[in-house]
C-alpha cells in the first residue's frame, strides 16, 4: 500500500480554485444586468466545457504524478 502524500494533492489546488472562480463568476454573470449581452450568453454556454477541460487537465496531472512516483 502506498503512503499518502499531501504534495500531490496540493499541486491540484490551483485547478480547484480556478473551477470555484468559474462557478462563482458564472453565477455572478447570471444577474439581470448582464443578460442582454451576447458575449455573456456565449461565455455562459462555454462554462461547462471549460470546467470539463479543467477536469481533464487535473486527471492528466494526477496520472503524471502517479507515473513519476513509481
Residue 56 CA to residue 62 CA, distance in Å, equals 10
- pLDDT (0 to 100) of residue 70: 65
Cell of 23: 462557478
- pLDDT (0 to 100) of residue 66: 84
- The closest alpha carbon to 44, from 69, 60, 66, 26, belongs to 26
Question: Which residues of the chain fall below pLDDT 50?
Answer: none
Predicted TM-score of the model (pTM): 0.79
Residue 55 CA to residue 15 CA, distance in Å, equals 8
DSSP conformational letter for 2? P
- pLDDT (0 to 100) of residue 17: 94
Amino acid at each position: 500500500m502506498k503512503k499518502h502524500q499531501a504534495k500531490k494533492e496540493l499541486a491540484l489546488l490551483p485547478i480547484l480554485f480556478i473551477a470555484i472562480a468559474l462557478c462563482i463568476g458564472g453565477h455572478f454573470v447570471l444577474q439581470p444586468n448582464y443578460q442582454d449581452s451576447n458575449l455573456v450568453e456565449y461565455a455562459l454556454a462555454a462554462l461547462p466545457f471549460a470546467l470539463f477541460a479543467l477536469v481533464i487537465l487535473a486527471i492528466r496531472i494526477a496520472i503524471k504524478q502517479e507515473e513519476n512516483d513509481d
